[in-house]
Structure 1
Amino acid sequence: MDQLEKSVIFRDIILNTRKPLVFQKFSTNWKCFDCSLEEWCTRFDASLGKGSKSKFEQMPKRFGDIPQWERYRSGLGTTLTEFLQKYSKCKINWTSLYYEPNTNIPIECRHDVDFGCFGIKNGKSDYSFWLGSEGANTPCHYDTYGCNIVVQVYGRKQWLLFPPETNLTSVRVPYEESSVYCSENFFSPKNLDQFNVARENAFECILEPGDVLIVPRNWWHYVESLTTSLSVNTWIPLKMDVDAQIEECIVKYIIENILSQESDEKKRYILNPNQLQLIAPREELFEILRILVQNKTNDSQTDEKYSYHYLSEEAVKDLIKSSHANIRVLKNLAPEDFDSLMRERTKRFIDMEIPDKCNINAVKETLLNAICHPSSITTIKNEFLKQIK
């Protein structure tokens, strides 16, 4: 079986798996990582030039009973080498270079990164880097678009995943396009009461260097670095994404209209930092919505968007067997093991005042979360599409 045939099989497995799976010790043949993390970081700094610094984020390793939202994080300008030598060993704070697009990474450090080995067209075009010290985490959320491929390059990372139907508490504050967060705190919970739903549906995965995780569409996930680690990910665009993109346009319209009457302080509370510069003029938003509706109505999709779940589960099992790759489908974490994990996390809890609890009226925040709840937005989208025909 040649590499092209293998990549087609891998693509079919990725697009059809109903549960998260791991390609263990998968060879991507990305030569830019054929060195230690220290050497990679040195190359990164040298490419940027003397005196150049990268923008990291920091948070305490002990926290209150709320997720570590991005709005709480402090900025830090430093080199990657200094990050490794100083900040990655800190016992008080974790530090991370968060969600860095490939266009911000020196070409010497990514020259042959190509997700084409997974059968994905244009596999060099759009991917992200995640570098963080022990404790660096992403609050639990699901991605509204695409199917996620995560390559663990250096270090170890823990993933907790939950099926789309898991009744976690969806919130759109903080707002980030294409990310629906939940209010459950998986980093430093005060107790286990909030996890009654999650404990029955948890899947756990610890990624080692060379492992590749496939996160199916709309699966909830909480991610945390167990050691200083670097991973690279991309999202496979799906033909069914157009419905989610219409819904995200509706959410964006609602939130940005509400924000137009709010202070900069409240905008910083409601929006994730990366969204502050992405507020769109209304006419531009309506034009995007018009194009999306046209695409859906005419079923006009580009070749770069893929069908999803077009094979049966049995067919996927057969493909995994025929792939001759070490592929592991994740299994449910036993509820008692989930409880044990979360009980250990309660040791991080400290009794603290919420940093910005007075920045927005609690009723307003609750109402905004209710209006923009995924089920509410789906109802609005369906009525909108019915009337626009």
Structure 2
Amino acid sequence: MNRSTIEDIVLNVKKPVVFHNLEIPWECFKHTFEEWLSWLYDACPSLAFDSGTLQNGTRPQWERTRTKVQMTAKDFYRDASAHQGHFNDNWASYSYRSIRELPPECRAGVDFGVLGFPDVAEDVSFWIGSKGAHTACHYDTYGCNIVVQVFGRKSWLLFPPEAKLHRSRVPYEESSVYCEENFYSPASYSTVIALENDAYYVVLEPGMVLVIPPKWWHYVETLECSLNFNTWLPLESDTEEHISECLTRLIVKDYSKHLPASSLRHVFNPNELTSLDVPSSSELQNTLRYLLEQQSSNKRQHLAKAGHPTNYLSQNVLDGLLETWVDFVTTVDKLENHEFFHMMKTNGRRFDPDLNRSSDEEETNAAAEHAINLSCHPDLIRLTRESLVGENKINFE
């Protein structure tokens, strides 16, 4: 299967697909996970892992509820291996990290050019986790996500963009929209069960490559000690979403000016807390003006350089490619209703009603969360963006 064909499929599929049986000449595939971690240990003797509980409360395990555990890569592997892939009743993760942090041995040969995207360069993240490590269900506001599984296995539960999940911009993270549902809480089942016809599921194993089209919801959980790399391909269509994200950040930033520290920790994801004042509101406004200019009709030629084109193949041509290369690429399976219900029932065994009990502080923060979600509702953001783009055409043409 040549790189050009892979590129065409990646940029045109409207449902998640998995590539398999590809020859990915990355050095990490020639070694064991333990060897790979030993190289990381030699370069970084101590790492700050995120840790959370295998049990789940009523709400999702937001990053603010996690703790930091200092340990070595070797200790991580030893302890996780000693407890069937996890740490007693907890999990550990060193994830969403730039490949630039890795020593040369760990990143040798990692190049998405083999999948048809040599321009990705170092815009790559790596994810290390023990059994139970996960990210809350969310979608990425722009880009097409490509995931390469190197060691271990991870499960992916996916829903299409139109799925009736409850969006939330709290906790706020630039380019990520979370949902309020927790797939391990019976309290969410009345909402989640309405999705039984929209659930897609796949378990990634070493060597498999998952493509997640724009705005597909995904909940990801590690099934055993694992490592994967991913990248988000910039798309021509991202300019509109960059405008929407800039507007959202301005709203959240302005609303948060007078919030107490405890509420800020509720509203913002931890990785956003370290840069609350960067960029400034004036810088964001300048960025917004620039994006609006690029969106104007006389700037279209610039967009071709900003991201990859999408949806340029007809459905018939795409179907033909998928049929021709069925030994190398398959669409992620949709769960049957009974499979989805069985998954929810199994997940419920990890529910602990004593976790995440509401406190007075949480109830106070709920008011801020409600106000931000109303102000950042996607329909309101869309109308604001369209209005600004319309005005901008008059100003810039």
TM-score for the superposition, normalised by structure 2 = 0.92
Q: Does 1:83 align with 2:69?
A: no
Q: Judge which range, 321-330 or 341-350, deviates more.
A: 321-330
1: CA distance between counterparts of 2:150 and 2:28? 11
SS of the residue 2:118 aligns to? coil
Distance 2:320 2:134 in 1: 35
1:294 is matched with 293
Map of 1:57 onto structure 2: 50
What is the one-letter code of the residue matched to 2:180? S
- Specify the code of the residue in structure 2 equivalent to 1:332: K
Could you tell me how far 1:376 is from its partner in structure 2? 2.0
Instruction: From the superposition, tell whether residues 15 and 386 of structure 1 become closer, same or farther in structure 2 (CA, over 3 Å).
Output: same
Out of 183-192 and 311-320, give the one that drifted further: 183-192
Q: Distance in 2 between matches of 1:16 and 1:89?
A: 38
2: CA distance between counterparts of 1:32 and 1:349? 36
Give me the whole-angstrom Cα distance separating, in 2, the residues matched to 1:26 and 1:211. Answer: 8
Q: Where does residue 31 of structure 2 map in the other structure?
A: 35
* 1:388 aligned partner: 392
Matched residues in 2 for 1:356 and 1:292: separation?
41
From 149, 153, 165, the counterpart of 1:152: 149
Kept after mapping to 1: 8 A contact 2:138/2:176: yes
Q: Distance between the aligned counterparts of 2:214 and 2:191, measured in 1?
A: 24
Residue 281 (structure 1) aligns with? 280
Asked whether the 8 Å contact 1:152–1:209 carries over to 2, the reply is yes
- Matched residues in 1 for 2:254 and 2:158: separation? 33
8 Å Cα contact 2:98-2:124 kept in structure 1: yes
For 1:169, the aligned partner's letter is H
- Matched with 2:374 is 370
1:293 is paired with a residue whose SS is helix
Q: What per-residue deviation string (whole Å, max 9, x for no partner) do you get for residues 38-64 of structure 1?
A: 00000111123xxx3111100010121
Which of 1, 19, 23 is the aligned partner of 2:19? 23
The TM-score normalised by the length of structure 1 is 0.94
Structure 1 stretch displaced more, 321-330 or 284-293: 321-330
Which of 347, 350, 354 is residue 349 of structure 2 equivalent to? Answer: 347
SS in 1 for 2:120: coil
For structure 1, the 5+ residue unaligned runs are none
1:291 counterpart letter in structure 2 = Y
Q: Aligned equivalents of 1:111 and 1:8: distance in 2?
A: 23
1:223 match: 220
1:323 positional shift: 4.3
SS at 2:370's partner residue?
Answer: helix
Map Cα deviations across residues 212-263 of structure 1 (whole Å, 9 max, x no partner): 0000011000000111111110011000000000000000000011111112
- State, as a whole percentage, how many aligned pairs show the same letter: 37
The one-character-per-residue Cα deviations of 1:7-52 (angstroms, maximum 9, x if unpaired) are 111000000011101002322110133110000000111123xxx3
Distance 1:223 1:296 in 2: 34
1:234 aligns with 2:234: no
Task: Give the Å deviation of 1:387.
Answer: 2.6
1:120 maps to which of 113, 117, 123: 117
SS in 2 for 1:337: helix
Contact kept in structure 2, 1:23 and 1:212, CA below 8 Å: yes
Using the TM superposition, give the Cα deviation of residue 355 of structure 1 relative to its aligned residue in structure 2, in angstroms: 6.1
- 1:291-314, Cα deviation, whole Å (9 max, x unpaired): 111111112225351111111222
Q: Do the aligned partners of residues 153 and 304 (structure 1) sit closer, same or farther apart at CA in structure 2, a change above 3 Å counting?
A: farther
Query: Residue 310 of structure 2: which of 294, 308, 311 is its match?
Result: 308
Higher helix share: 2
CA distance in 2 between partners of 1:315 and 1:98 (Å): 37
**Are the structure 2 counterparts of residues 233 and 356 from structure 1 closer, same or farther at C-alpha, using a change threshold of 3 Å?**
farther
Q: Report the residue type matching 1:367 in the other structure.
A: A
8 Å CA contact retained: 2:51, 2:92: yes
TM-superposed deviation, 1:278: 2.7
Structure 1: distance between partners of 2:184 and 2:230: 22
Alignment partner, residue 66 of structure 1: 59
The alignment partner of 2:147 has SS state of strand
Q: Does 1:333 align with 2:335?
A: yes
Question: 1:174-193 maps to which residues of 2 (within 5 A)?
Answer: 174-190=171-187, 192-193=189-190
Q: Distance in 2 between matches of 1:305 and 1:190?
A: 41
